[in-house]
Amino acid sequence: MTITRRQLLILLPAAAVAWESVLAGTPEASPNYTMTEHWWSMLIDIPKCIGCGNCVRACQAENDVPDGFFRTWVERYHVADWHLANPEVISPDGGEEGFPVAKEDQGKYFFVPKLCNQCADSPCTQVCPVGATFISPDGVVLVDQKYCLGCAYCVQACPYGCRYIHPQKKVADKCTLCYHRIRKGLTTACCEACPTGARQLADLKNPNDPIHAFLKTNSVQVLKPQMATGAKVFYNALDGSVR
Amino acid sequence: MRIFKDAGHLFRLAALFAAGTLLFFVIRGFVVPRSFGEYGHYRGAAIAEIAAHPIRFAGQGTCETCHADVAQAKSGGKHAQVHCEACHGPLAKHADDPSIDPGKPDTAALCVRCHAASAARPKDFPQVDAEQHAGGVACQTCHQPHSPAIGAASGGTK
């Protein structure tokens, strides 16, 4: 069978369209979940955090986080009376195995769990040159690891230091707010493992979510509000010394 | 009347341009994923791919479907709001196949992770200097982990 030049010219675009649909595949159907009906965030209640490191270990177990990298970590602040603007901050192994015992001392101590702030106007998604990182319609900042080039612009752009280049995959990696869990109706691994309820997953579009009452009645702040990132991780009783 | 006597050049150029444009769209069709732009400037199918990752923590609801006795024992005590997997670790595999034995957590390391006295912890959180408090006696000798007040009912043996 021979193909004339004319037939070839007609066949090529048709073949292109067919191949495209093969490449796209069939996305997994997720019944009972409409992305536009959710807007995920997290509430961190600092006075409840005891610095046990459960969240850090849970995150590593759930998400295969490589050694030495963290999608979430806990910092311990020690703010002495004489210098509020210069706190002593430690986070040994991200707080994975807890913290050294602190002796009664001048000043105050508190723990600050950190993770991706799931910014609504995220600097990391704005700098991606290929559209490999984005905010999903339900408000979670994700990385398309098949599309990421590993240029690390986003790692530099994140004002919270929440991104890293995966040492084996050589692509950007970060907290997904356990997107694979929340789509199944579960809470995140860190919230699941937190023994004191210091971390709470919240859906801002759900009018029955307790977050609304909490935001109304407490002094809540986001990290680096001056950056106008639209951060959606809310901290209750956040001290001014936290950066 | 031979104004366009060399019009052939233009036609050849136009044909070349048309062929180039066609080639551009054919290549573009190959390299741009189909779902790109479905929701925004990214590959829409990536969302479903990320959502399809397997879970490791089964979730409190899953634990309670089988271990209602422990949930019951826990509900009245100080550990009522502590999820099972906060101490027992990620057990989705055990939930899928109950014959996989999750093992028991080592209380010597587990209890002090939260309850070791430290000035850094919130003042109203129960804390002990384990050495002074028990002198090396295992915590569960006196405290049932599922409902830790002394004398509280056992939280089941499973």
What CATH number is attached to the domain comprising A199?
3.30.70.20
Same-domain check for residues B46 and B81: no
Same domain, A152 and A39: no
Q: Is the residue at A68 inside a domain?
A: yes
* Residue A1 maps to a domain: no
* B155 found inside a domain: no
Which residues of chain B make contact with A13, given a CB cutoff of 8 A?
A: 22, 25-26, 29
Asked if B113 lies within 8 A of A52 by C-beta distance, the reply is yes
Decide if A92 contacts A99 (C-beta within 8 A): yes
The residues in A 34-73 lying below 8 A from B, measured between CB atoms, are 35, 47-54, 58, 61-62
Statement to judge: residues A84 and A127 lie in one domain: no
pLDDT tier for residue B156 given thresholds of 50, 70 and 90: very low
Among the partner residues A20, A101, A195, nearest to B86 by beta-carbon distance: A195
Specify whether B79 is located in the same domain as B27: no
Residue pair A76/A90 in contact (Cβ under 8 Å)? The answer is yes
**Quick one: which of A174, A175, A157 has its CA closest to A165?**
A174
Structural domain boundaries, residue A131: 123-173
Same domain flag for B39 and B68: no
Q: Is residue B80 assigned to a domain?
A: yes
> Which residue from B77, B110, B80, B51 is spatially nearest to A178, judged by alpha carbons?
B51
Domain-embedded: residue B146: no
Mutate to test the interface with B, among A6, A46, A99, A101 (most CBs of B within 10 A): A101
pLDDT at A243: 81
Q: Which of B29, B42, B59 faces A131 most closely, judged by CB atoms?
A: B42
Domain count across chain A: 2
Residue A76: inside a domain, yes or no?
yes
Residue A20 lies in a domain: no
In a domain, residue B147? The reply is no
What is residue A20's predicted lDDT score, i.e. its pLDDT?
Answer: 62
Q: Are A42 and A100 found together in one domain? A: yes
Please give the structure tokens belonging to residue A212: 């609304």
Q: Per the domain annotation, does A196 fall within a domain?
A: yes
CA distance B75 to chain A (A): 14
Q: Which residue of A has its CA nearest to B54?
A: A180
CA distance B61 to B38: 34
* Residue A225: predicted pLDDT: 95
Residue A83: per-residue pLDDT: 74
Q: Which of B48, B79, B81 sits opposite A27 (nearest CB)?
A: B48
Cα angle value A227/A72/B106 (rounded, 5°): 160
Instruction: Tell me the residues of chain A between 120 and 139 that have a Cβ less than 8 Å away from chain B.
Output: 131-137
Same domain, B64 and B136: yes
Looking at the structure, tell me whether residues A221 and A110 fall in a common domain: yes
Contacts of B140 (CB under 8 A, 6+ apart): B107
Residues B68 and B22 in one domain: no
- Does residue B156 belong to any structural domain of this protein? no
Residue B149 lies in a domain: no
Q: Are residues B40 and B70 in the same domain?
A: no
CA gap B28, B34 in Å, rounded: 10
Q: Do B113 and A98 touch (CB under 8 A)?
A: yes
Q: Are A229 and A141 part of one and the same domain? A: no
A145/A225 same-domain check: no
- Among B24, B34, B127, B132, pick the best mutation site for testing chain A contact (most A Cβ within 10 A): B34
Nearest-Cα residue of chain B relative to residue A135 = B40
pLDDT for B10 beyond 60 = yes
Does residue B71 have a pLDDT over 90? Answer: yes
Do A149 and A84 fall within a single domain? Answer: no
Proportion of chain B in helix, strand, coil states, percent, rounded to 5: 45, 5, 50
Would residue A2 count as lying in a domain?
no
How does pLDDT run along chain A (243 residues), one tens digit per residue? 677 877 877 887 777 666 666 655 544 445 689 999 999 999 999 999 999 999 999 999 999 999 999 999 999 999 987 777 889 999 999 999 999 998 877 789 999 999 999 999 999 999 999 999 999 999 999 999 999 999 999 999 999 999 999 999 999 999 999 999 999 999 999 999 999 999 999 999 999 999 999 999 999 999 999 999 999 999 999 998 998
Q: Which residue has the tokens 């307790």?
A: A210
Nearest to A28 among B22, B39, B52 (CB): B52
Answer yes or no: are the C-beta atoms of A174 and A141 closer than 8 Å: yes
CB pairs under 8 A between A and B: 160
Residue B153 touches chain A, beta carbons under 8 Å:
no
**How are beta strands A108-115 and A133-135 bridged, if at all?**
unpaired
Query: Could you tell me the residue range of the domain that residue B38 belongs to?
Result: 7-51
In this structure, the answer to whether residues B82 and B122 fall within a common structural domain is yes
Would you say residue A5 lies in a domain? Answer: no
**Is A82 found in the same domain as A66?**
yes
Residue A28 lies in a domain: no
Using the beta-carbon criterion (under 8 Å), do A62 and B90 form an inter-chain contact? yes
Single out the residue of A192, A199, A231, A211 nearest to residue A63, CA to CA. Answer: A192
Task: From chain B, pick out residues whose CB is under 8 angstroms from the CB of A61.
Answer: 56-57, 89-90
Are B26 and A13 in contact (CB < 8 Å)?
yes
Q: Rg of chain B over CA atoms, in angstroms?
A: 33
The reported pLDDT for the residue numbered A2 is: 76
Q: Are residues B137 and B71 in the same domain?
A: yes
HEC sequence for A139-168: CCEEECCCCCCCCCHHHHHCCCCCCEECCC
Domain co-membership, A47 together with A103: yes
Distance from CA of B105 to the nearest CA of A (A): 14
Average pLDDT over residues B134-142: 88
- Domain membership of residue B152 (yes or no) is no
pLDDT of residue A23: 59
Contact B85 A58 (CB under 8 A): yes
Q: Does B76 fall in a domain?
A: yes
Question: What is the total count of domains within chain B?
Answer: 2
Q: Identify the pLDDT of residue B157.
A: 41
Nearest partner of B85 among B115, B108, B55, judged by Cα? B55
Q: Work out the minimum CA distance from B90 to partner chain A, whole angstroms.
A: 7
